[in-house]
Structure 1
């Protein structure tokens, strides 16, 4: 496993991030434990979760599954860089009361305590804000974070789904307080969705944040979806099916799969490997439902994409271009 440094921290993390969103709703506890065992054995040491993950199995269930894995072998905790997120309402069956969601100092404190209990740990290595809270000033957010760092309950703070200007705002506010600020950003980034290249990734690079793309396979669109459909495999549903129903989108996906057939490479592995070639990217988040899916994702680490293939991918999925040049008429 190749390791890199997470932003401006001293944390060394693998080039893939184990996302745990499926633990609970789609993957039972025993299989989730097996996936984490396989990941750690392969050297994948950066685990990402969120307090709201679990959903149909119950909010917080995913964190509980990770906590039970730590409890089985406490030595695992010090081998893992553990990241979780907060923002959403954690009430199970009722609307949120005021201050039971978003980024108020009160909810940050409440959310940290809940996550620590479910995860069965005394600290969170990277504590992430799941979304922007336009109603809470960063001065208040950083005051709450500073207290938690002083208490040893979190080590670093990160963001998720932040636009470039909010990354700048957050870190300029932190700098005035003499704090490190955000050390990572989770953004929606894949071959289909490249808008992060305009502002988010340049802002992250400017402020020294690690970039952790989510949905690297575009909701399954980049994982060989047409090939699987033809072979009689699992059919796409939801938004993926809607995209496939659009003739223009389907033509792009078909061109993508044809290009990869020409080069003899797997679609899902290629989509991950492409992200690993992108400037500023620490590692994409993978969300395996089975140990076999994890093993397939790990193969992307050894896949080298030639210039001809990269040029072909850019032709099918052109990026927005750098700012400010891309804004010119």
Structure 2
């Protein structure tokens, strides 16, 4: 893959580093990062609150610290990767979430970004996300604060994670009116399998990509990032499939997925990632892994080309 220092979204898989520094120790994290970059990976996705629920401190920052340690230990690595991190969801007091969530006030965003940059050991991140909505803060204040960190050079682009499309559009309108950097990307929960509409998910704060959101990013030219793309391993282990996904449509889609996978001698995960990468809109999938073998599997999905017949089989199975 041709390397460039200008961050791009289309055609890339982002390595999800949520459990680096908690479930995954230094040796494991470094091995995954090394292999990802060796195979041409560029985007590393983290957040300031990863993973407070896994750590005795009850606070986040472990993932960013691990990435910072890896960057410091690998000469030239910072020039080989693009960093995506998020603010707004870290608890301010140990073991008190969500009631002490930091939010998106200008002061909170400044504190969060400064902390992220210090932990990462860098002076700039390529993509900075408002991790969750914060309607206690006027949207104008959020837009102004985020525009400031782009203008001062500490952030390349801005993204909205777990926001409805109408709020993103309103924020972009405000940014344009004040000559500020707008949200250029959205991040939502999205994969081939779909939950029962309106069924509550067991994962707090997750926002599923709707047809309207997909149409919005496509028509407005925003980048779309997707998390939980492999449903925490449910494509490989049926017992991991959450209850909202257990319906007749899932069975049909899995049958279709298996037929396409057999045709290409690929795994289910590889077909799902290829479906996301080559869709309309094209998606940057965030994928968490726990072994080097899994890194090899997901990165091979970039070479899997689904034709119109494959996509028709997958899309018509809902």
| TM-score bin (small chain) | 0.7 to 0.9
Name the SS of the counterpart of 1:18 in structure 2: strand
Q: How does 1:187-226 map to 2 (within 5 A)?
A: 187-193=188-194, 196=209, 198-221=211-234, 223-226=235-238
What is the SS of the residue equivalent to 1:199? helix
Deviation of residue 306 (structure 1)? 3.1
Q: 2:16 touches 2:288 (CA, 8 Å); kept in 1?
A: yes
Q: CA deviation at 1:115?
A: 0.8
Following the alignment from structure 1 to structure 2, what is the Cα–Cα distance between the partners of residues 188 and 225? 19
Under a length normalisation based on structure 2, what TM-score does the superposition of the two structures give? 0.84
Provide Cα deviations, 1:124-152, integer angstroms capped at 9, x if missing partner.
22110011222222210122123323433
Does structure 1 retain, via aligned residues, the 8 Å contact 2:125–2:154? yes
Kept in 1, the 8 Å contact 2:30–2:70? The answer is yes
Closer, same or farther: CA 154–99 of 1 in aligned 2, 3 Å: farther
Call closer, same or farther: CA 1:307–1:156 in 2, change over 3 Å: closer
Residue matched to 2:295: 294
Q: Equivalents in 2 of 1:111, 1:262: separation in Å?
A: 46
Is residue 44 from structure 1 mapped to residue 41 from structure 2 by the alignment? yes
**Equivalent pair of 2:147/2:175 in contact (CA under 8 Å):** no
* 197-206 or 277-286, larger mean C-alpha shift: 197-206
Higher alpha-carbon Rg = 1
- Larger proportion of helix: 1
Per the normalisation by structure 1, the TM-score is: 0.82
Please name the residue that 2:205 is paired with: none
Q: Which runs of 5+ in 1 are unaligned?
A: 227-235, 318-329
* Structure-2 change in CA distance of 1:252 and 1:151 (3 Å): same
SS at match of 1:12: coil
Deviation at 1:88, TM superposition (A): 1.3
Q: CA deviation at 1:156?
A: 2.0
Q: State how far apart, in whole Å, the 2-side matches of 1:62 and 1:21 are.
A: 6
- Give the unaligned 5+ runs of structure 2: 196-207
Q: Does the residue aligned with 1:125 lie in a helix, a strand or coil? A: strand
Q: 2:106 corresponds to which residue? A: 105
Change (3 A) 1:44 1:33: same
Trace 1:46-61 onto structure 2 (pairs within 5 A). Answer: 46-55=43-52, 56-57=54-55, 58=57, 59-61=60-62
Q: Distance in 2 between matches of 1:4 and 1:189?
A: 27
Figure out how many residues of one structure are paired with residues of the other and give that number: 300
Answer yes or no: is 1:25 the counterpart of 2:22: yes
Q: Deviations 1:161-184 (Å, cap 9, x if unpaired)?
A: 121111111100100011230111
